[in-house]
Structure 1
Amino acid sequence: MLRRFIPVLLALTCGFLIATWWPDAPDAVRTMVTGAGKGPAAPGPEPQPAEAEPEKPALVRLTDAQIAKAGILMEAVGEGRLSRHLHVPGTVVPSANLTARIAVKTTGTVVELRKGLGDRVAQGEVVALLDSREIAESKGEYLAARVSAELQKALYERDKALWDKRISSEQQYLRSQASYQDLKVKEDAARRKLTFLGLSPAEIDALPNQPEAQFERQEIRSPIAGRIVERRVDPGAAVGRDNLETELYSVVDLSKVWVDLAVSPGDMPLVREGQAVTVRTEATGEAASGRIVFIVPVLDQNTRAARVVAELANPDETWRPGSFVTAEILVSDKPVRVMVPAGAIQTLEGKPNVFVRVADGFQARPVTVGRSDDDGAEVTGGLEPGEPVAVANSFTLKAELGKAAAED
């Protein structure tokens, strides 16, 4: 009986000594010593954590007929471009580079107006006739100066020939030369005056053959091609200087128009000349593309907005000045490897997912979403180019998935 307790006493004594003299002894040593008297005991296997079962991919089973009935559209994902746009209001206005005013430069009376509002005119076409005493006097002065200059030129050439042969005196030759130069200056001055009053070089050259009865008649021509948008006088009206009306018509070429855009100061760093602009009107649904041609550096005092001018091609004249439009300014445009429409991404359990087409229907697949724009988003993980995904009515698949989870 005493022999059975001797090992236990020895173990307790050794344990006391180890605890006293070797307090930092490893637990394994202490266990070995203190457990020496308990007899052999097979150590039990340490409990292992239960392995989690792999999560099965969420699957919505649908046939082709069910997919078509639900209106689910599919599209193979691939490369795309991320575009950001700035939406601003605008107004269509005539291009300042293609606008002209047909005006008179002398006093007179309007005899005939050949164009009405909306009529088309060609560049250089006669649009009105004017009777002016000033024109008649200027034409007479020019013709007189021209005749005198031509006569003196003949005398000068004769005296020069005589002087070359030493038949006449040098003094006579020099007087003829001075007289001719003086008359030539007067002729040139009279011609410039007619040019200033609106006569073309061809009209001036034709004056010697023009009947005197038509000397007071002046033809008013359009400086550009376009359409008449304003008529300011009537036949018989006195026009010209001295507080009289000088403008007869306003003509505009609408083959190109401008769009005045109002951009807030906070968005101005995103706008620069040359950027692409898409203009739309809600009234007709028309859309056209243009580019920014000018940015006014001064803010409007009333609206505190900056004026940005975009130019649109308008060959069919569908864009009428005065129309209100909405413009999209292309701020950035970058290529991406995989891009999906915004309607393809659905949030499941707080994470973005897309529904990939598989043999039995659609599989919800988690994806990593990168940058996005107005229409889509970049997928940086979870999808490869070419995989078909649901891009329209994908919310139906999300609802079916939620319904199946509720039934389970």
Structure 2
Amino acid sequence: MSRLLIPVLLALAGGVLIATWWPGAPDAVRTMLAGARGAAAPAKPEPHAAAGPEPERSGLVKLTDDQVGKAGIRTDGVGGGNLSRHLHVPGTIVPNANLTARIAVKTTGTVVELRKGLGDKVAKGEVVALLDSREIADAKGEYLAARVSAALQKTLYERDKELWDRRISSEQQYLRSQASYQDLKVKEDAARRKLTFLGLSQAEIQALPNQPEAQFERQEIRSPLGGKVVERRVDLGAAVGRDNLETELYSVVDLSTVWVDLAVSPGDLPLVREGQTVAVRAEATGGAARGRIVIIVPVLDQATRAARVVAELANPDETWRPGSFVGAEIVISDKPVRVLIPASAIQTLEGRPNVFVRVAAGFEARPLKLGRSDDAAVEVTEGLEPGEAVAVANTFTLKSELGKAAAED
């Protein structure tokens, strides 16, 4: 009995060794030997492999709030806006031609007083100079004489009319008196118009009968516009008037609004229209303002072959000084869009535009489908919704971090 048992035990031990150390054995042999081994000893359950960590989401850059702040990454909420296209042109600040006046004299005379200097403020109707003129004195005398004669003849005419109505005097006397009065009245009106042409106001003409004769030669020169004196053309005691003499005393400009002369090339001119918004910026001072196009001159400049386009700019503080060079952006289109993001927020990953969306663990790269764009912003047609927060500054840092993580994997 023992002789028969010894071969069986040797075969069983050989089978166990083959099943354990020769995994490439045929499945049938392994099954048979494993069955024989199972008959000899119960199989132990194989231990389960320990569960590993879940894989991280692709495109996720893990950053804490402190790390985001140190990296200078700035976020902004996604929303709608206007998509604008701009035309960049050079420009020059010039006075508003509708608010510029030249104070001139209309008669010959001598300047006896100048009340304003360069840069002084002037109110509309304010006296800025005094002039002595023989021509003015003669015109005032003619007017007063015609006025007195017309008044006297008016009295005679009214008396003769009353006598004629009562049939006391003849009709011929009445008609002669009427004709004389009308003639003198015409002369009085002509003398008044002459004074008005020489620069006297209606109030000054009405006050002439009470004016001393010694002041008949004196004429007050008034400003027709409120503003600032930008030029003085004469000195005290200068002879002014006609016959090749200087007629202008001052130049006055109201700087509450100014014009911006823009030079637009003929190729861009079809894009420009009156009423378009213009953003103006002075490189020297950093000042910026917005205005509107008011004039498009139809004739090109003979020297530069550029079109002159004029924009009007509010200047309540008089910070925009005529003669300054500026850069201007003409808004040639302005369309509303539902989702608009800055162009600085977009990074190209694997050949596709992406943005980094703020999530709880940091930032997640998200591919986008883009639409129209302008100088600074891009329309998003797919991939973002209003209200989501995206990185808009130092986004290249996030792209670098994402590349490092991909390289380590």
TM-score in same-fold range (> 0.5)? yes
Corresponding residue for residue 16 of structure 2: none
Deviation of 1:388 (Å): 1.4
Corresponding residue for residue 118 of structure 2: 117
Contact between 1:355 and 1:394, CA under 8 Å: does it hold in 2? yes
Corresponding residue for residue 278 of structure 2: 277
Instruction: Kindly provide the CA deviation profile for residues 107-134 of structure 1, in whole angstroms up to 9, marking residues without a partner as x.
Output: 1111111111111111111111111111
Which consecutive aligned stretches of 4+ in structure 1 deviate over 2 angstroms post-superposition? 54-57
Corresponding residue for residue 108 of structure 1: 109
* Partner Cα distance (2:130, 2:309) in 1: 40
Give the letter aligned to residue 71 of structure 2. A
Instruction: Kindly provide the CA deviation profile for residues 190-243 of structure 1, in whole angstroms up to 9, marking residues without a partner as x.
Output: 000000000000111111111111111111010011111111111111110000
Corresponding residue for residue 297 of structure 1: 298
* Partner Cα distance (1:368, 1:100) in 2: 58
Contact between 1:255 and 1:316, CA under 8 Å: does it hold in 2? yes
* Partner Cα distance (1:291, 1:397) in 2: 41
Corresponding residue for residue 308 of structure 2: 307
Corresponding residue for residue 184 of structure 2: 183
Corresponding residue for residue 390 of structure 1: 391
* Partner Cα distance (1:110, 1:387) in 2: 74
* Partner Cα distance (2:121, 2:392) in 1: 50
For the aligned residues, what is the CA RMSD? 1.2
Contact between 1:57 and 1:365, CA under 8 Å: does it hold in 2? no
Deviation of 1:57 (Å): 3.0
Corresponding residue for residue 342 of structure 1: 343
* Partner Cα distance (2:262, 2:332) in 1: 15
SS at match of 1:228: strand
Deviation of 1:359 (Å): 2.1
**1:45-56 counterparts in 2 under 5 A?**
none
Corresponding residue for residue 145 of structure 1: 146
SS at match of 1:244: coil
Give the gaps of 5 or more residues in structure 2.
1-54
Instruction: Kindly provide the CA deviation profile for residues 253-298 of structure 1, in whole angstroms up to 9, marking residues without a partner as x.
Output: 1111111011111111111101111111011111111111100001
SS at match of 2:357: strand
**1:149-188 counterparts in 2 under 5 A?**
149-188=150-189
Instruction: Kindly provide the CA deviation profile for residues 153-185 of structure 1, in whole angstroms up to 9, marking residues without a partner as x.
Output: 000000000111111111110000000000000
* Partner Cα distance (1:387, 1:316) in 2: 41
Instruction: Kindly provide the CA deviation profile for residues 300-344 of structure 1, in whole angstroms up to 9, marking residues without a partner as x.
Output: 111111100011111111111001111111111111111111111
Contact between 1:108 and 1:131, CA under 8 Å: does it hold in 2? yes
**1:351-366 counterparts in 2 under 5 A?**
351-366=352-367
Corresponding residue for residue 239 of structure 2: 238
Contact between 1:98 and 1:253, CA under 8 Å: does it hold in 2? yes
* Partner Cα distance (2:388, 2:214) in 1: 87
Identity of aligned residues (%): 84
* Partner Cα distance (1:373, 1:347) in 2: 18
* Partner Cα distance (2:361, 2:237) in 1: 87
What is the TM-score when the length of structure 2 is the normalising length?
Answer: 0.85
Give the gaps of 5 or more residues in structure 1.
1-53
Instruction: Kindly provide the CA deviation profile for residues 353-380 of structure 1, in whole angstroms up to 9, marking residues without a partner as x.
Output: 1111122221111100110111110000
**1:75-94 counterparts in 2 under 5 A?**
75-94=76-95
Give the letter aligned to residue 143 of structure 2. Y
